[in-house]
Amino acid sequence: MTQIWFSKMEGIGNDFIVMDDRNGSIDAGMPYPRLAEKLCDRHFGIGADGIILVQNSEDHDIRFVIFNSDGSRAGMCGNGMRCFARYLYEKKIFDKKQIRVQTDAGTVIPTVKVDESGRVTAVQVDMGPPVLTCEEIPFISQKDTAIEEPIDMKDGRIVTATVVKMGNPHAVVFVEDLSKVDAAARGRALEIHPRFPEKTNVEFIQVMDAQTLKMKVWERGAGITLACGTGACAALTAAHVSGRIQTRRATVLLDGGALSIYWDSTSNHLFKTGPARRVFEGNIQI
């Protein structure tokens, strides 16, 4: 049996099991997809939305690898990246506050923010530019981009979505009243829609005012979660390109808390700032 040391962490309610596998011993003990299913089980495991592995990188400071609770591999996760950055800093794997991280979705640059005592208070993540080209997302459409795109559902309804990639695909759906939306049923149906060859995350957004968005999310491979960082970035992007808000900066209110999102017009990069917290640490045998 293999003993694994882990940190259970959360970013506004989106929770992860973070493990250091730079020596490859965890993967040798159990393949990551199976490990994710086992550890993320909220009744028979530790319980989480996904697992995050610290791995070595040849051309970056470190590598970030994430698997959803169903064992599927994700390209990136904004809330997970904040947890990852805090874990690295507090475990003294790095003593610098800003690092270059290799992900399956490309380079991501998180920066930890600390108070006078050196305690991490927040993490800002350079999420890179949003991708709106359908072919790159991927999303099946005759258009180059899918802004306010009607999607025919199996039950005969038509869902209007703006499709964005933030390392992973997102379908952003704007609604008048978020409290009346069955996010689980509608999110599940849209996640597996055939126009999304790699499935999709689904965000339901209510515009509260010129700088505030309220969001519920159905995550690909995880279902309903309390927060999604890449989804919050996709939401701001979709709200701006569809003309619902004029600003490039907004607070996104999620079930687990709030994120500050800024879309820089010069670099075209999105910056996400929010908390990350260590819940507990321990070891488990597999």
Q: Is residue 93 part of a domain?
A: yes
Same domain, 183 and 81: no
Same domain, 55 and 89: yes
pLDDT mean by block of 10 residues, the chain; 286 residues: 93 96 95 98 96 98 97 94 97 96 96 94 96 98 97 96 97 97 97 98 98 97 93 98 97 97 97 97 94
Q: Is residue 141 part of a domain?
A: no
What pLDDT does residue 2 have?
83
What pTM value is reported for the model? 0.89
Same domain, 63 and 157: no
Active site residue 77: yes
Spell out the residues 6+ positions from residue 209 whose beta carbon is closer than 8 angstroms to its own. none
Same domain, 96 and 162: no
- CATH value at residue 39: 3.10.310.10
Q: What is the total count of domains within the chain?
A: 2
pLDDT in tens, 138-165: 999 999 999 999 999 999 999 999 999 9
d(C-alpha 5, C-alpha 283), whole Å: 4
Q: Which of 40, 83, 134, 228 is catalytic?
A: 228
What pLDDT does residue 274 have?
97
What pLDDT does residue 21 have?
98
Q: Is residue 238 part of a domain?
A: yes
Spell out the residues 6+ positions from residue 272 whose beta carbon is closer than 8 angstroms to its own. 78, 82, 124, 125, 127, 229, 232, 233, 259, 260, 261, 262
What pLDDT does residue 155 have?
92
Q: Is residue 136 part of a domain?
A: no
Q: Is residue 137 part of a domain?
A: no
Q: Can you give the residue range of the structural domain that contains 216?
A: 149-268
Active site residue 40: no
Same domain, 71 and 163: no
What pLDDT does residue 1 have?
75
Give the pair of three-digit tokens for residue 221. Answer: 């491979």
Q: Is residue 144 part of a domain?
A: no
Q: Which of 77, 83, 134, 233 is catalytic?
A: 77
Same domain, 38 and 97: yes
